[in-house]
Amino acid sequence: MKKRHQQKFIAWTAFGALILNPPIIMALNEKFVLWGVPSFYVFIFFIWILTIALNYLWIKKHGE
């Protein structure tokens, strides 16, 4: 993997970790229900699965 791709990969992973920090999560925690599931859990699951999927695609495309 090229240095530039590695830096972008690390930046995306750091962004995923940052967005899952408690202060940001609590700021987005509202009393909203989506299909019977509180928005808090929907947000956590969506960000988690999105980060994993994008990291997988990134490694698949630029990995060695």
Q: What's the pLDDT score for residue 58?
A: 78
How is the chain split into domains, by residue range? 17-62
- Separation CA 9–CA 29 (nearest Å): 28
- Separation CA 19–CA 48 (nearest Å): 10
Measured CA angle at 36 (ends 46, 23), to 5 deg = 45
- Separation CA 54–CA 57 (nearest Å): 5
Q: What's the pLDDT score for residue 64?
A: 59
Q: What's the pLDDT score for residue 41?
A: 80
In this predicted model, what pLDDT tens digit does every residue of 4-58 receive, in sequence order? Answer: 777 777 887 788 778 777 777 777 666 777 788 777 788 888 888 888 888 788 7
Q: What's the pLDDT score for residue 31?
A: 75
- Three-state DSSP string of 18-51: HHCCHHHHHHCCCCCEECCEEHHHHHHHHHHHHH
Q: What's the pLDDT score for residue 1?
A: 61
